Amino acid sequence: VTGKLSSLTVFQLFTRIQILNLAYVQKYIVKNYFYYYLFRFSAALGQEVFYITFLPFTHWNIDPFLSRRLIVIWVLVMYIGQVAKDILKWPRPLSPPVVKLEKRVIDEYGMPSTHAMAATVISFTLLISTMDRYQYPFALGLLMAVVFSTLVCLSRLYTGMHTVLDVLGGILVTAVLIVLTYPAWTLIDRLDSASPLFPVCVIVVPFFLCYNYPASDCYSPTRADTTTILAAGAGVTLGFWVNHFFQLASAPTESLPGVQNIPPLTTDMLVLGLTKFTVGIVLILLVRQLVQNLSLQVLYSWFKVVPRNKEARRRLEIEVPYKFVTYTSVGLCATTFVPMLHRFLGLL
């Protein structure tokens, strides 16, 4: 081959190599099961299974004010991270030499690591938001935040999904965003305005951002994941507005009368918390499945495509609406209908 390759040609060649790697099933031997299960578990702390359990649990059992702030800041940071991936288009580590233990996101780009961003923003937003709200040793809270975020970050290296630079980039971007947005956190906390136009903005703006997500050279789940995140945030924010506007629940307490002691964990408290969580998560999963199936059927019929067609499901006009409707419903259910069910069952 003679002549100079353009940067675009080199990038396309590298992308094709990455795509070919998808068909390559790697075999590996686990030599240390402690590290294997530790980092596979830690990696799950940056995935949907964690978000759909930890964030609702915080709302139902700990503090609705904290859950609202966590979700809003998390959505903002994650959107910027997801978009940055598809703008920068830095590939993930080549395999081989690394062994990639995850297949679902293998065809996404790498910079920045959104796992690192999610772990950093959740742990340190929680720390900053609670240190003047609840009484506990700050050093202990800082240690827990560092350990949590470090485990998730190291898991991205262990599973072969990111380079050190990807992880450091994710941490740095999140730190900058926390510093820049911190002065506006109090304003963000008051977004559940009683204005009738507020729900329109909450739905229209995120949907517009999802539908106009940066185009990629080949399909990756990044757009779908971004839609899931923005829709969940829209649903939660809409749920708080519904509670406030229709006076279904008291607004989350922004300021407590002094720094509160963390109550000791008792058996009764544990049983109540687990019961509320179980009831809530069952309802959320039912709503998610029902709305997803219904929205897909409507879209398949509207665009006249064969149901259960994997390629059709990935089309922009189908993927974004069904994901958005599904997870907006999940967020609304978690903040409005689950507490109503808790109250009906005498769990509040």
Active site residues: 115, 162
SS3 250: coil
**254: Cα separation from own chain's centroid:** 24
d(CA 292, CA 283): 14
d(CA 60, CA 348): 9
Q: How many CA atoms lie within 13 A of 178 on its CB side?
A: 22
Record the tokens describing residue 76, joined without a space: 């903002």
Q: In degrees, to the nearest 5, what angle opens at C-alpha 71 toward C-alphas 291 and 73?
A: 135
The Cα-based distances of 114 to 54, 125, 233, 296 in angstroms read: 17, 16, 17, 28
SS3 265: coil
Q: Which residues are within 8 A (CB) of 62 and not within 5 positions of it... i.e. 6 or more apart? A: none
Please state whether 160 falls in left (phi above 0), alpha (psi between -120 and 50) or beta.
left
d(CA 171, CA 161): 16
Residue appearing with tokens 């609840």: 134
d(CA 254, CA 183): 15
d(CA 214, CA 316): 11
SS3 202: helix
d(CA 115, CA 168): 11
Q: Which of 20, 169, 173, 166 is nearest to 92 (CA)?
A: 166
